[in-house]
Structure 1
């Protein structure tokens, strides 16, 4: 397999990558636990909000000129209000946090350390924007969900190995359409956080 190269995309380069990012999101989030029934109209709404942030960044993983993985980040206050609301309820300011959005990677490229690199590069981007408090969230699905694979291993250990911990009681609800559903439904999303050490 060819060597993977990484590019940090902002501004016009970020805008130019949005269609490819949408394709990755539709493909990867179709899998458990997101079960996303991909929709280009939904992607346009979601990604246009992300791209409007002056602090938005995409870390792209490329096999040649092909985008095979991507991770996004932007100031939390620039994201959807659904994500900021649980912070406000806890007396926390959304302005204090940098939000890591999706991290999507095609199956053939997994297990090569790309996910770790995505975290490292987004942490650099957070520092460049003046943030040291990072958050992201992951969907909460029932243990007995009928589409849960028997061999599914949650990413909790990977995230903890990167220095992240769950934020007690900080959960938002966000809508998308599940596989086989006609309408969007809201799903609970658990937030995780890390404060970057000084000088890191």
Structure 2
């Protein structure tokens, strides 16, 4: 799990917040979190978030955000997949309406890069 001040991240992320009233200087960005399937359901995901949120508080941030790829059913979706929305909501995060970044990358099974939408979620500390 990684994290950093949102202001230190890509300009594309800042552009997603252009129409919001959120002060990006007050937002700590929780970047990637990767947890192998055999370690899920043991509280490790909560520990990832708790550690990053505590670090954000120590640095003086009042908000924590992350973004998640917006996609419906995906052909590579593993058997038994469960969306993480209930986990995030249970931690106090809410999706920010209209705060969506666009990034391009080549996904598995794609011949070329394509644009992907990333929805931002936010929690007040």
Q: If the length of structure 2 is used for normalisation, what is the TM-score?
A: 0.90
| Segments of 4+ moved more than 6 angstroms | none
Query: Are positions 1:114 and 2:44 aligned together?
Result: yes
Q: Specify every segment of 5 or more residues in structure 1 that has no aligned partner in the other structure, as ranges.
A: 1-70
- Deviation of 1:150 after TM superposition, in Å, equals 5.8
Q: Which has the higher helix share?
A: 1
Q: Which structure is higher in RCO with an 8 Å CA cutoff and minimum separation 6?
A: 2
Please give the alpha-carbon distance, in whole angstroms, between the structure 1 residues aligned to 2:56 and 2:30: 9
Please give the alpha-carbon distance, in whole angstroms, between the structure 2 residues aligned to 1:106 and 1:152: 13
For 1:129-184, what per-residue CA distance to the aligned partner results, in whole angstroms no more than 9, with x for missing partners? 110211101001134x4334563210000011111111111111112210122322
Please give the alpha-carbon distance, in whole angstroms, between the structure 1 residues aligned to 2:23 and 2:103: 19
Please give the alpha-carbon distance, in whole angstroms, between the structure 1 residues aligned to 2:78 and 2:40: 18
Give the 3 Å change call, closer, same or farther, for CA 77–123 of structure 1 in structure 2. Answer: same
Q: Specify every segment of 5 or more residues in structure 2 that has no aligned partner in the other structure, as ranges.
A: none
| Count of aligned residue pairs for this structure pair | 125
Q: If the length of structure 1 is used for normalisation, what is the TM-score?
A: 0.58
